Structure 1
Amino acid sequence: MLKSREDLYKLQQKAKAALAEQTMRILVCAGTGCVANGSLKVYERLKNLVAEHGLLAEVDLVKDVSHEGIGVNISGCHGFCQLGPLVRFEPSGLLYCKVQPEDCAEIVETTIINNSVVERLLYQDPNSGEKVKTQDEIPFYKRQVRVTLKECGRINPDDINDYIAHDGYQAIAKILEGMKPEDVIKEVTDSGLRGRGGGGFPTGRKWSFAASQPGPKKYVICNGDEGDPGAFMDRSVMEGNPHSVLEGMMIAGFAIGADEGYIYARAEYPLAIKRMRKAIADAEALGLLGNRVLGSDFSFKIHIKEGAGAFVCGEETALIASIEGERGMPRPRPPFPAVKGLWGCPTIINNVETLANLPAIINNGANWFRSFGTPNSAGTKTFALAGQIQNTGLVEVPMGMTLREIVFDIGGGLREGKKYKSVQIGGPSGGCLTEDKLDLPLDYDELMKVGAMIGSGGLVVMGEDTCMVETAKFFMGFVQNESCGKCVPCREGTKQMLALLTKITEGKGTEEDLALLEELAQNVKDGSLCGLGKTAPNPVLTTLRYFRHEYVAHVRDKKCPAGACQALKEYYIDPAKCKGCTVCARVCPAGAITGDKKQPHVINVDLCLKCGACMEKCKFGSIIIR
């Protein structure tokens, strides 16, 4: 048990010394994406092969066992998910991509024993064809600035000693040794940290509200209920550096006078929950969590509550209701949770990323954090890049970086040479940003001006063949399905908006429907009870604002400009390419294709089911959509 900051320092030096004895450190990504692709098998195979050669380093600080050798460890998400499983070697920074168990013998022989490189496992630049050896040389990583994700991919999330060796729990030790709650709140306020879960409310101001409330009992809640389609930032932090979240919660607890906290994570995150549970147990065993932390008068306990995956439980009051055992439904505000929250007690709710920033802020100071980002949006932000983009994965960049830099410099542009059309930022609560917004700085205030929001940080990139009406319909379908049904505007309004969007994509919409859709979207935005309902119309409103011509084409011309809406596709046979092989006629389930052998065929559009079977079977590319 650690009784003081001095005890923590001694353990840190011991852990650093043990790591220093590792002549080479191999880190196998064990984030969810890489695990799904077999990274744990890669880890076991590498570890066994290194052991067979008598090179494996043994480290057990509890038993005071450590000796020189090769360290083989799991790590959290490295970020470049599409190239997993990823294996990195330290201190060289060498990175191997798409590693499989059958590659391990060659890796041990070539890289570990002969100090050479397995060329075929290196990252290859899709534009130049150049092979890149180290992680820092890869364009995906070059422009990133990692604060929250700094240790994700660099430490073993299941080893508390690894976290301690990398300055873990030094922030809470510093606070307990000589800071007052008001000092902590001032430091966080001065840092400019704003909530990373969506709204961007100043963190220090929220804390000050709760700190000023009377009463012996207060709570800290970590919101890990990440529900946006395509978002996995919070999950990756909980999986890759769980102790940073615990330390952040303790800092928040000390600041407002709370002695208890809850981590609310969706049950669909089993690996994150498993690692968070282990982190809590290990911290308690060392006296870094629980009663009288590091021998001080400060006590803090943390519990985990698994949510059932309801998107609405990302809203603060719905989340509180769920922890209390009630159905996750929002409550009117005020009173706000900082005044009356969990079980009627003052409560602050911060998301995973917000809390994970806190140890670095306390250790390095508010001015250090402010050195990143913009005056009104300090620090960095994680984004999950997804969609039709070359490089998908998790990135962290300074606030204020432009969309162009993220999509084209870090993301590598769109796949297959497609032209950029839009990006959906902030998930169902966000909005679409068009090509003329590519140079817009990504910060809270600038995005609000164009009808979008950062949200939790999902970035779904869409190319020229994406139908924006269909995109709005997808997000509206998600929101409508996730509505808790408590208030009429959200419950009924989203249902009717989805019906109108479906009607439009099926070619049955009218121009009057467009006017009704826009009016309805504004009413839902103005009249809904909680943030889910108020932001639900954003994808519709932004697509209507920036892509109205696509809506008009659907209702007036009965055509989908992107050729994506199935009901509006019109299949046509190019007579110049048709060889009259009759394959298309034979596979057509409706008998809509006719023609003689070795003569161009034709499609009867009135009979065509638009199933695409003919196009799939045609070997000559003669069937086109117009």
Structure 2
Amino acid sequence: MILFPQGRPTQRETFDEYCAAGGYDALKKSLSPTAILREISASGLRGRGGAGFPAGRKWAVAAETPATPRYVVCNAGEDEPGSLKDRILIAHRPHLVLEGTILAARAIQAGHAYIYLNETYDDCFNRMDEAVREATAAGLLGSLAVTIHRAPTVYVAGEDSAAIEVVGGKPPLPRQNVETLANVPPIIRNGASWFRTHGTPDSPGTMLFCLGDEMNRPGAYELPLGTSLRYLYENVGNGLKNGAELKAILPGGPSCAFLTNDQLDVPLDQESLKKAGSTLGCGVMRFYSKETCMVEETLRIAQFFARESCGQCPACRMETNMLSVMLERIQQGKADAALFDQFQKIVDFNRGKGYCALINMPGPPILSAIRLFREEFEHHIRQGTCGV
């Protein structure tokens, strides 16, 4: 694979071990900023943090911006429930992430790079700090300043614009994800064509997929993009614990739309999941058994977003709280079927009105749950209890 070609190390990869395996060879090529941008664009690398935006295009926009000074943010805030990817990469391969960050800074001619790290990840902070000191001693940073910045442990603080605010000394109001940057050194070292031998034409490369404790084999697994959801569920995760029967899938984190158990053959790539009605997100997979009450689960997701909204945007604050209250009424049997139409109206009215992307996040899971599992919601309205 790309990120863990020899399998995941059992401990931190040292500077010497990283260099012996070709580490920092990409940096030592001394490619011009234009050449780096060209290679990343040709590779088709897309962001692994959620939106899947082409990394080359994102960097080109930054490089063309006349404003200075420029800087790069390696976003390791990782407050997505169930995500382990940033922690695993930084804990085991900090030099890979650091080299990717240095190359990104060179590509856009930035003089300062910030590694925006979840404040609870003390082990990662120490390992990345050691990696920065080792690379500095080896003369690999040049004039680039690298600062490791501890990120608040709130969901919105991991959102891109929040990361920018925090490293600038401002409160987290809401650039590149850790996994995205970790792909950069192998691309520059081996070439865009090599990278494209993995994955699909539109979604090249691999991705780390996180499986939760509901699975027989929880953990983070690197797979080529385009691998079927069924392969991940059956062959990698070995199904749900206790032989439970599958009902639903949340394929990319709490802001994604639900899929049903008859959609297991959907390929895990941006285009295929979009056609299926959901998104790849950051690759945090949740699988739900037949015993799961989808009303309870949808309410839990809505309450999560209501708690994590920073409250700065009135529209976001009102939307997230209103959606939670409406779902709670359904759960308690204190609503009628007319309430269903209000969810779509509220989501449509507030779309894009927030300072950050959080305002758009509750809609997909809530609307898809109501559409796909309508009978469970109707049972709660009629009986005030779960029919599962």
TM-score for both structures, normalised by structure 1: 0.60
Are 1:375 and 2:201 an aligned pair? yes
1:230-286 residue CA offsets vs partner (Å, 9 max, x unmatched): 111111101110000110011111111112100001112111111111111111122
Contact 2:343/2:367 (<8 A) preserved: no
Q: Find the residue that maps to 1:459 and give its secondary structure.
A: strand
Alignment-derived partner of residue 285 in structure 1: 137
Aligned-partner Cα distance in 2 for 1:159–1:184: 26
Aligned-partner Cα distance in 1 for 2:192–2:350: 39
Q: Find the residue that maps to 1:374 and give its secondary structure.
A: coil
Are 1:405 and 2:231 an aligned pair? yes
Q: Find the residue that maps to 2:53 and give its secondary structure.
A: coil
In structure 2, the CA distance between the partners of 1:409 and 1:365, relative to structure 1 (3 Å rule), is same
Identity over the aligned pairs, expressed in percent? 38
1:42-61 residue CA offsets vs partner (Å, 9 max, x unmatched): xxxxxxxxxxxxxxxxxxxx
Give ranges in structure 2 of 5+ residues lacking alignment: none
Larger radius of gyration: 1
Alignment-derived partner of residue 527 in structure 1: 353
Alignment-derived partner of residue 258 in structure 2: 432
Aligned-partner Cα distance in 1 for 2:126–2:156: 24
Q: Find the residue that maps to 1:168 and give its secondary structure.
A: coil
Matches within 5 A, 1:124-143: none
Aligned with 2:312 (options 486, 491, 515): 486
Structure 1 residue 434: deviation in Å? 0.8
Give ranges in structure 1 of 5+ residues lacking alignment: 1-145, 292-298, 331-348, 563-626
The aligned amino acid for 2:247 is K
The aligned amino acid for 1:241 is R
Contact 1:225/1:314 (<8 A) preserved: yes
Alignment-derived partner of residue 378 in structure 2: 552
Structure 1 residue 387: deviation in Å? 4.3
Matches within 5 A, 1:149-548: 149-150=4-5, 153-154=8-9, 156-157=11-12, 159-174=14-29, 176=30, 179-289=31-141, 291=142, 299-330=143-174, 349-548=175-374
Q: Find the residue that maps to 1:261 and give its secondary structure.
A: strand
Contact 1:267/1:309 (<8 A) preserved: yes
Contact 1:451/1:538 (<8 A) preserved: no
Aligned-partner Cα distance in 2 for 1:261–1:186: 21
1:468-513 residue CA offsets vs partner (Å, 9 max, x unmatched): 1111111111111110112222111110111111222223232122
Contact 1:431/1:451 (<8 A) preserved: yes
Contact 2:332/2:381 (<8 A) preserved: no
Aligned-partner Cα distance in 1 for 2:7–2:357: 31
Aligned-partner Cα distance in 2 for 1:274–1:554: 49
Alignment-derived partner of residue 345 in structure 1: none
The aligned amino acid for 2:261 is E
Contact 1:400/1:443 (<8 A) preserved: yes
Structure 1 residue 194: deviation in Å? 0.3
Aligned-partner Cα distance in 2 for 1:236–1:430: 23
Q: Find the residue that maps to 2:212 and give its secondary structure.
A: strand
The aligned amino acid for 2:17 is D
Structure 1 residue 155: deviation in Å? 6.9
Aligned-partner Cα distance in 1 for 2:28–2:278: 40
Q: Greater RCO between the two (CA within 8 Å, min separation 6)? A: 2
Structure 1 residue 395: deviation in Å? 0.6
Aligned-partner Cα distance in 1 for 2:333–2:7: 48
